[in-house]
Copies of this chain bind each other. A is one copy, B any other.
Amino acid sequence: MPKAKYDQIYRDLKEKIETEVYSYQEMLPSEHMLVREYGCSRNTVRRALAELTADGYVQPMHGKGVRNIFRPVEQAAFTVGGIESFKESSARNKRKGTTQVLQFAEIIADEKIEKRTGFRKGICLYYIQRLRFLNGIPLILDHNYFLKEAVPGLTPEIASQSIYDYLEGTLGITITTSKRTLTVEHVTQIDEKYIDLKDYNCMAVITSQTFDDNGIQFEYTQSRHHPDFFRFQDVATRKTH
């Protein structure tokens, strides 16, 4: 938990927006006011506001002020957003998440794997297949590839709990960046075997390459979601052309 001043301000403003201390479309106090309120420099206030802007919470308007454009979202499905473990996502979506390990193996990357995952050929990887349950219903099928040298000592036992807890807690790895691609793909035999898709013949597929704070890619994951329980959210800002 960072104790940086800008982060404190960011969290404080974020909560005020979420709890409607400032209502939708209302202006926040000016930067000058916030400087006085928080007893810091203008740069620091601006940094907090920049993060809220990136989150889609506020919109700064040149010469006018900063407007609250946040609206709460209904959480009907299983919402995916930032980098989160399944455990964290389950908690945020207020569901009980459990995991069943279907496969756990050590493999050597060949050319096909290199092309798909970004791991160099010849490198030793853990390959793990896991089935994810929400409130007892199997909804997500994960195929994980972990770089063995970066993530030593992985066991099926750990995989059935939270690998991220192990990485961040026990190994002290800092997870930093995740590049994700989202596609819609036909169901496979494995999907059908474990997940009741009713009449869907597709799944929502997130593939991600995850990096630690040394810029080393230690994970490639393909996460296949039941369409009825999948929702991906995003805020984009337009770049000038």
A contacts, CB < 8 Å to B: 1-2, 25, 53-54, 56, 59, 61-62, 64, 67, 69, 71, 77, 81-83, 118, 175-186, 199-204, 211, 213-215, 217, 227, 230-241
Contacts and interface: CB of A to CB of B under 8 A. Distances in A.
Given A202-B200, A215-B25, A184 B236 contact: no
8 contacts: A59-B211, A83-B236, A177-B236, A178-B237, A181-B231, A182-B232, A182-B233, A183-B232
A237 B83 contact: yes
Given A61-B215, A67-B215, A201-B199, A236 B82 contact: yes
Given A61-B215, A200-B201, A183 B238 contact: no
Contacts of A178: 235-238
A83 B25 CA distance: 22
Contacts of A237: 82-83, 176-178
A81 to B, nearest CB: 8
- Which A-B residue pairs are the 7 nearest by beta carbons? A67-B215, A202-B202, A184-B227, A182-B232, A83-B238, A59-B215, A184-B204
Nearest to A185: B227
- Work out how many copies of this chain go into the complex: 2
A19 to B, nearest CB: 20
Contact of A238 (B175, B202, B214, B234): B175
A71 B2 contact: no
Given A184-B230, A201-B200, A213-B61, A71 B118 contact: yes
A47 to B, nearest CB: 10
Contacts of A61: 213-215
